[in-house]
């Protein structure tokens, strides 16, 4: 049987890649044609085509041309060892991508960024940790914050996690209840009872005097991150309503 050779046009028709890509692979010595005629026409053997299909397979696995070139020079056994490592890398990226997709779906549906686990398994610190560090920078020298830190130091990591989850659930619960009262005056008894409940959750962490409560109220009103978090529980400006309700509470 006569040896079959393929022209560039043939390879393009078979694989779907462009002639420019094929020429580039030749230029970087990734895939050289078996024959090159005097007039510059390239002729590829069936082995060349098989090699190209392997290159395209590796490229689909998100390997760079430099990595592919290095792998192609290895024995079949060593290639498989390299690809097993790359397989684990792809699985890790798949899990990470799944987290990102879920977070995006939650964000688009209206969930606040604070409640997204987007920075888990990432060099970037989780938002909860970022907020904690930010608070320490701002309030770290105050007595109330130091007392708060001493309280946390006595807890195990598991207890801290449980306390944090419990606090988040309580905040979400009370803000949802306040949202149902948004058409009542902020100073009404029903609203003020809910602010007292909100304060009781804060007091699990720190002593809440009038100064601290007003500071938190102003943060709810001025910090877009907290505004967005609170406003997710209502179609109206719930953060401003909570601000007014806390200020009324402080005036009692």
What secondary structure does DSSP assign to 149-192, as a single string? HHHHHTS-HHHHHHHHHHHHHHHHHHHHHHHTTTTS-TTSHHHH
Angle at 162 between CA 221 and CA 138, to 5 degrees: 40
Domain map of the chain by residue range? 5-72, 74-123, 155-250
Q: Which residues pair with 6 in a beta bridge?
A: 44
Q: Give the mean model confidence (pLDDT) for residues 110-123.
A: 60
Check if the beta carbon of residue 236 is closer than 8 Å to that of residue 182: yes
Q: Which residue carries 């970087």 as its tokens?
A: 28
pLDDT mean across residues, the chain = 81
Q: For position 119, what pLDDT does the model report?
A: 57
Check if the beta carbon of residue 233 is closer than 8 Å to that of residue 176: yes
Q: Dihedral sign, CA of 153, 159, 165, 169?
A: negative
Residue 238 CA: distances (Å) to CA of 116, 184, 245? 21, 12, 10
For residues 37-46, one letter each, b for 16 or more C-beta atoms within 10 angstroms of the residue's C-beta and e for the rest, the string is eeeeebbbee
- The most confident of 58-72, 141-155, 207-221, by mean pLDDT: 58-72
Q: Give the mean model confidence (pLDDT) for residues 25-39.
A: 88
DSSP-derived secondary structure letter, 184: S
Q: Which residue carries 């390879």 as its tokens?
A: 11
CATH number of 155-250: 1.10.490.50
Residue 150 CA: distances (Å) to CA of 14, 47, 164, 225? 70, 71, 16, 27
List pLDDT tens digits, range 160-195.
Answer: 677 677 877 888 889 999 999 999 999 999 999 999
List pLDDT tens digits, range 131-151.
Answer: 455 455 555 566 656 666 676
Q: How many CA atoms lie within 13 A of 235 on its CB side?
A: 1
Its pTM stands at 0.48
Assigned CATH topology for domain 5-72: Multidrug-efflux Transporter Regulator; Chain: A; Domain 2 (1.10.1660)
How many residues in total does the chain contain? 252
């Amino acid at each position: 049987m006569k040896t079959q050779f393929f022209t560039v046009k043939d390879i393009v028709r078979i694989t779907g890649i462009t002639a420019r890509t094929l020429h580039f692979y030749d230029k970087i010595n990734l895939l050289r044609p078996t024959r090159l005629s005097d007039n510059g026409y390239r002729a590829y053997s069936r082995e060349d085509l098989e090699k190209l299909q392997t290159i395209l397979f590796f490229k689909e696995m998100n390997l760079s041309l430099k990595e592919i070139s290095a792998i192609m020079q290895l024995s079949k056994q060593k290639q498989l060892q390299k690809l097993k490592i790359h397989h684990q890398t792809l699985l890790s990226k798949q899990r990470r991508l799944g987290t990102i997709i879920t977070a995006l779906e939650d964000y688009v549906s209206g969930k606040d960024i604070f409640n997204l686990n987007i920075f888990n398994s990432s060099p970037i610190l989780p938002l909860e940790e970022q907020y904690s560090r930010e608070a320490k920078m701002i309030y770290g020298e105050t007595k109330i914050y130091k007392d708060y830190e001493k309280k946390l130091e006595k807890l195990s990591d598991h207890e801290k996690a449980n306390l944090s989850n419990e606090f988040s659930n309580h905040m979400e619960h009370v803000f949802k209840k306040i949202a149902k009262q948004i058409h009542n005056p902020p100073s009404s008894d029903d609203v003020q009872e809910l602010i007292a409940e909100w304060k009781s959750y804060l007091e699990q962490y720190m002593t809440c005097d009038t100064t601290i409560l007003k500071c938190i109220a102003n943060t709810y009103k001025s910090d877009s991150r907290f505004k967005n978090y609170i406003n997710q529980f209502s179609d109206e400006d719930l953060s401003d309503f909570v601000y007014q309700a806390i200020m009324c509470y402080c005036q009692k």
